[in-house]
Amino acid sequence: MHFDSTSLTLISARDALRRGDFSARELVEACLGEIDRRDGDLGAFLGTRAEAALAEADQADLNLPLGGLPIALKDNLNLLGEPCSCGSKILEGYRAPYDATAVARLKAAGAIVVGRTNMDEFAMGSSTENSALGRTRNPHAPDRVPGGSSGGSAAAVGAGLVPAALGSDTGGSIRQPAAFCGCVGLKPTYGRVSRYGLVAYASSLDQIGPFTRTAADAALMLQAIAGHDPRDSTSLDTPVPDFSSGLGDGIKGLRIGLPKEYFSAAIDPAMRATIDRALQTLAGLGAELVELSLPHSEYVVASYYLIATAEASTNLARFDGVRYGHRSADAGDLLEQYHQSRGQGFGPEVKRRILLGTYVLSSGYYDAYYLKAQRVRTLIRRDFEQAFSKVDLIASPASPFPAFKAGEKTADPLQMYLADIFTLAANLAGIPGISLPCGRMAIDDEPGVELPVGLQLLGPACSEPTLLRAAHSFEQAGSS
Ligand code: GLN
């Protein structure tokens, strides 16, 4: 049977499989075919597992929630027997000795992993340009970046190569690339999804989540991966709600806060117009828009880059050339081996962050930087607690600008860090956030180019059902 796999959602593909319109093998073949044809240019994938995926498709149990559905994984998630590069040379030759819990749960739900996607090295970046393993292009404008750090997963879903993928979000790495590539990206509440088997960047901020074409698909993916895991002591030991059941209930009376600090920030004017239209759509659906303040917003970037780099500097100490990955060939003694293996294996941004993180944790500077940043983090968290005593959700752009040109921000790390001004706070506060496509914007000096714009919604801890319901209502309004 002939069908177009590039426009399928998980739910439409699942229904078609169950009706027998096509088989799981045909579906996986179609996705692999698209990857073969188009990924040479796009660069979303670091590797595929065609043979294994097809064999799994033949065995697929279509009664399972994700039975026979092809997905992709960001390459910092361990999948038994496969490479897990984290976009770095230092993990050359490493193969995952076990499945990450989120991956094991997707497999148990019947999903079929077709490949591993490109990312900024160790998830440090906002454009996927920090990958040591190749370039990923934006599916809507090939000279532009897909966002990052989960740029490969976002590009794969945005281009229709797969209906869904997993990413990780430490400061925006799901929501921002989703916005750049025109797909839905969900960062769950800290602890909602086990981090076991996710290579750690900043452990108090990291969270795994899905990229999909629709909110209903995001609900389906989250259902499969959420829940307590004895192997991750920070995973929440609370019941997992049914994320799909209330999707159609509408948002009449929902109070949505607009932080004045976010809306007075330098937002691209065409993007601002698109966001304003999206807010009007939400109002038209019965939501009440309320202006509010998150007074410590100006400290978010500084506090994030102190805490994230501090945690990264300790997490990345394990890559020493001894236990796994790249080992320098010509070191004279152990110390030289550490120096050379790490010097050769890590890229410049990772080195910058290890240096910064080591510095802020060093004796004498710990109190002035790391401890201070933790205190500011508490204030940022309180800002949200206050805000959520007045509103149900908070809305903002997912990023202050749309997908930028490759190379445009690589010379100045601070410019790159600003790509995340609207997403970082959710990780510091541990709250969930979703980015959803809310229209396209034209680019002044480039007639014909239309870039996706992402609306971000944030909610209090464990408010994923509300976030997904609002996102679903918004989608329905747009498509009716
Ligand atoms: N861009 C941010 C950083 O570089 C966030 C990355 C992420 O969420 N993994 O740290």
User: How confident is the model over 252-270, as pLDDT tens digits?
Assistant: 999 999 999 999 878 989 9
- pLDDT for the residue numbered 339: 94
Give the C-alpha separation, 243 to 247, whole Å: 8
27-78 per-position pLDDT tens digit: 999 999 999 999 999 999 999 999 999 999 999 999 999 999 999 999 999 9
pLDDT band at 5 (very low <50, low <70, confident <90, very high): very high
User: What mean pLDDT do residues 225-242 have?
Assistant: 98
Q: Is 328 a catalytic residue?
A: no
Instruction: In whole angstroms, give the CA distance from residue 68 to residue 53.
Output: 10
Rounded to an integer, the average pLDDT of 237-265 is 96
The overall average pLDDT reported for the chain is: 96
In the chain, the percentage of residues whose pLDDT exceeds 90 is 94
94-103, 186-195, 308-317, 409-418: the lowest-pLDDT one: 409-418
Vertex 312: Cα angle to 44 and 433 (nearest 5): 60
- Is the C-beta atom of 124 inside 6 A of ligand 1? yes
Which is catalytic among the residues 85, 127, 131, 149? Answer: 149
Asked if residue 67 lies in contact with residue 17, where contact means CB atoms within 8 angstroms, the answer is yes
Q: Is 121 in the pocket of ligand 1 (CB under 6 A)?
A: no
- Give me the pLDDT at residue 479, please: 59
Q: Report the nearest atom of ligand 1 relative to the CA of 424.
A: 5
Handedness of CA 179, 180, 186, 187 (dihedral sign): negative
- 125 CA → ligand 1 middle, Å: 5
For residues 205-209, give the mean pLDDT.
98
Q: At a CB cut-off of 8 Å and minimum separation 6, what does 378 contact?
A: none
pLDDT band at 1 (very low <50, low <70, confident <90, very high): low
Has 149 been annotated as catalytic?
yes
- What's the number of CA atoms in the CB half-sphere (13 Å) around residue 310? 21
What pLDDT is stored for residue 445 in this prediction? Answer: 84
The alpha-helical segments, DSSP class H, found in 67-147 are 101-108
Chain segment 441-458, per-residue pLDDT in tens:
999 888 889 999 999 999
Whether pTM > 0.75 for this model: the answer is yes
pLDDT at 222 > cutoff 50: yes
pLDDT of residue 324: 84
Q: What is the pLDDT of residues 289-308, one digit of tens each?
A: 999 999 999 999 999 999 99
206 band by pLDDT with thresholds 50, 70 and 90: very high
Average pLDDT over residues 14-35: 98
Residue with the smallest CA separation from ligand 1 atom 5 is 171
Residue 201 in contact with ligand 1 by CB distance below 6 A: yes
Mean pLDDT confidence for 216-227: 98
Give CATH for domain 1-480. 3.90.1300.10
Domain ranges of the chain: 1-480
Q: Is 241 exposed, middle or buried (0-12, 13-18, 19+ CB in 10 A)?
A: middle
Measured in Å, residue 396 CA sits from the centre of ligand 1 at 18
d(CA 124, CA 127): 9
Distance, in Å, from the CA atom of 250 to the CA atom of 237, rounded to the nearest integer, reads: 29
Give residue-wise pLDDT tens across range 104-144: 999 999 999 999 999 999 999 999 999 999 999 999 999 99
Task: From 205, 208, 420, give the residue whose CB has the most ligand 1 atoms within 8 Å, as the site to mutate.
Answer: 420
CA dihedral sign of residues 374, 266, 393, 190:
negative
Among 192, 107, 113, 184, CA closest to 452: 184
267/272 Cα distance (integer angstroms)? 6
Q: Examine the pLDDT at 480 and tell me if it is beyond 60.
A: no
Task: Answer for the pair 433, 167: CB distance below 8 angstroms, yes or no.
Answer: no
Q: Using a 6 Å cutoff on CB, does residue 465 contact ligand 1? A: no
353: tokens are 């962050």
344-347-349 Cα angle (round to 5):
145
